[in-house]
């Protein structure tokens, strides 16, 4: 197999975009400048900064969308845009969890430093799989959707996706079921957050 040099790799990676990478140092400088401008825009734009926080929080295990939406309402963001941003953030890790999490966790379960945490994550996923199988009378797809969608302790997209991987559900069905569950969780949390902050506003007012 032919080896790929650094310059060739850059051309293969970015050539499809039509960007001239013949001057690698110049390209890297330009990329750095663009990133600095983007960070400056985020820092100077309070609204964008808030949405970035919501997006990142929705990606965090256990917190996910169910924590991101109430946070967005506490920051005074519009509910519908917060809903969309939270869904996207919550769904971003899902394919990676399905494809890689099980292998990584099984590999690290017996390692000295990380073993306990990895074992905890595996056990959590297995418990989630057991709960799914208990509810599978309605079908595993519906069970996974409800497991992700009903915001209870120990449920959510991370646990549900890992459980689906451990149960060897097919990739497409797992992702679609998790997405439906995330949409449902978003509706529940959006309604709950709107009611909570509306009641607080009425009391304060």
In a domain, 71, yes or no: no
Confidence check: pLDDT of 19 > 80: no
Domain with 200, as residue range(s), is 91-204
- Is residue 120 one of the residues assigned to a domain? yes
For residue 128, how many C-alpha atoms fall within 13 Å in the half-sphere facing its CB? 28
pLDDT digit string, tens, across residues 184-199: 999 999 888 877 655 5
pLDDT of residue 9: 45
- Residue 162 within any structural domain of the chain: yes
* Residue carrying structure tokens 């169910």: 66
Report yes or no on 148 lying in a domain.
Answer: yes
What is the mean pLDDT of the segment spanning 96-122? 86
Give the pLDDT score at 201. 54
List, for residues 124-150, the tens digit of each pLDDT value: 888 888 777 777 666 889 999 999 999
Please write the tens of the pLDDT for every residue from 42-55.
666 888 889 999 99
Whether 64 is covered by a domain: the verdict is no
Please check whether residue 28 lies inside any domain of the structure.
no
> Is 9 a domain residue?
no
pTM as predicted: 0.71
Q: Where are the alpha helices (DSSP H) in 75-170?
A: 79-91, 94-96, 102-108, 115-134, 140-149, 157-166
CA distance 107 to 165: 15
Q: Is the pLDDT of residue 176 over 90?
A: yes
Our count of domains for the chain comes to 1
- CB count within 10 Å of CB 171 equals 12
Is 85 inside any structural domain? no
């Amino acid at each position: 197999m032919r080896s790929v040099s650094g310059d060739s790799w850059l051309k293969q990676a970015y050539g499809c975009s039509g960007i001239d990478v013949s001057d690698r140092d110049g390209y890297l400088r330009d990329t750095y400048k663009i990133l600095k401008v983007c960070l400056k825009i985020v820092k100077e734009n309070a609204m964008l900064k808030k949405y970035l926080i919501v997006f990142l929080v929705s990606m965090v295990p256990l917190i996910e969308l169910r924590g991101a939406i109430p946070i967005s309402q506490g920051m005074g963001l519009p509910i519908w845009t917060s809903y969309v941003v939270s869904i996207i953030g919550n769904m971003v890790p899902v394919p990676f969890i399905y494809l890689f999490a099980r292998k990584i966790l099984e590999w690290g379960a017996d390692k000295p430093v990380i073993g306990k945490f990895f074992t905890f994550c595996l056990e959590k996923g297995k418990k989630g799989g057991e709960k799914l199988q208990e509810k599978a009378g309605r079908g595993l797809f519906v069970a996974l959707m409800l497991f992700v969608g009903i915001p209870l302790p120990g449920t959510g997209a991370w646990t549900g996706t890992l459980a689906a991987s451990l149960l060897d559900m097919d990739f497409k069905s797992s992702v679609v079921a998790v997405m439906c569950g995330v949409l449902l969780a978003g509706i529940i949390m959006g309604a709950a957050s709107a009611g909570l902050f509306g009641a607080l506003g009425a009391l304060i007012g």
